[in-house]
Amino acid sequence: MHNQFELLKTRRFLPFFCTQFLGAFNDNVFKQSLIILLAFNAAGMTTLSPVILTNLCAGLFILPFFLFSATAGQVAAKYDKTTIIRLVKGAEILIMVLAGIGFHLQQLWMLLTALFLMGTHSSVFGPIKYAILPQHLTKDELVGGNALVETGTSLAILLGSMLGGYLISLGPEGRDVVSWTVLGIALAGFYAGWQIPDSPAVN
């Protein structure tokens, strides 16, 4: 039986695994910190109630998956997947800069825009996540590779939510700590994305 953990030693899998992990991790650090910030500090930013804002955050993050996932799948089939990943991870850095400014200035519209854009980032990355592995893994490695990616994603969601909640609870300086943290994670994800081998278009 093939040992799936051996894949973590290979360049054809590890950089993609790290890129996916860091992307999901960053999504949840930012999303959880924003939700908690709005739950306890909404009065200083808007007249909307925290309940409405929490639902709005969830909706804004999920909406791009309905709007863009199908198109993203077509793009992933037509162009080199590694190139798309690098563009997406570059965009993530810019989105996190916007989020950092929003946190620092406590500008709700900036934060919600960044949240929507992060949802867009994830919706574009999603089809690639499932399509790129068959190009780099053999048939007997594919199930194990998918299992590792799904495990990493679940772990990233859990750890990202915990870290985001902790950082934003540090007080007034917590907003700046979150800003630098999500930017650092985005930069790490961008670096990991550049280590992924080329993945030529299949269509």
User: How many C-alpha atoms does 158 have within 13 Å on its Cβ side?
Assistant: 6
Q: Which residue did the predictor score with more confidence, 172 or 46? A: 172
Q: Is residue 43 classed exposed, middle or buried when 0-12, 13-18 and 19+ CB atoms within 10 A define those classes?
A: exposed
CA distance 150 to 56: 27
Query: What's the alpha-carbon Rg for the chain, to the nearest Å?
Result: 18
Residue at token pair 């007249």 = 47
Given this model, what pLDDT does residue 157 score?
95
Given this model, what pLDDT does residue 114 score?
94
**Mean pLDDT of all residues in 54-68:** 88
The structure tokens listed for 174 are 């917590």
| Tens digits of residue pLDDT in 1-11 | 467 888 888 88
| Tens digits of residue pLDDT in 68-81 | 888 988 888 888 88
What pTM did the predictor assign? 0.90
CA distance 192 to 203: 26
| Tens digits of residue pLDDT in 83-138 | 999 999 999 999 999 999 999 888 888 999 999 999 999 999 888 888 888 888 88
pLDDT above 80 for 200: no
Residue at token pair 């950082």 = 167
